[in-house]
Amino acid sequence: MKVAIASDHAGFELKEKIKIFFSNKIQIFDLGTNSNDSVDYPDFAFELSKEIANKKFDFGVLICGSGIGMSIVANKINGIRAAVCTNTELAKLSRLHNNANILCIGARFTTFEEAKNMIEIFLNTTFEEGRHTRRVEKIHSLTNC
């Protein structure tokens, strides 16, 4: 499994801890930022989302202060289903019911332990399919106007 991760300055420290924790478990590719210096989150969300949409990576993790800005940008890209999650149950449901391919985390509201657990569940939960497949397909057909 290949996972891309990116953050803005607010998510940088959490991103670095996550990279270290997962380094021996999965292939994780850091798409920036590389410091606490102020940057614009849309740049990083857009680049990571394009890579996921183009299937260069299986999943993505985006981290900013709240997770909201990253998710707004990511969901502008066709084929992306980015979910802001604040707990493990939401991370699980985002995969089970929505086939989310990007997990967005708010570094100002999430501890490392919570983030680590959400990522593990997100990456290890399989899309339930069935009635959810039709709904997920509608997301992209309705938004291709």
Q: What is the pLDDT of residues 24-46, one digit of tens each?
A: 999 999 999 999 999 999 999 99
Q: Tokens in use for 51?
A: 């890579």
Domain 2-142 sits in CATH 3.40.1400.10: yes
* Residues listed for the chain: 145
State yes or no: is 97 an active-site residue: yes
> Which pLDDT belongs to residue 141?
79
pLDDT in tens, 102-121: 999 999 999 999 999 999 99
Catalytic choice (9, 64, 85, 104): 64
Indicate if the pLDDT at residue 5 is higher than 90: yes
CA distance 107 to 55: 26
Reply yes or no on whether 64 is catalytic: yes
144, pLDDT greater than 80 = no
Q: Where are the beta strands (DSSP E) in 48-143?
A: 59-64, 82-84, 102-106
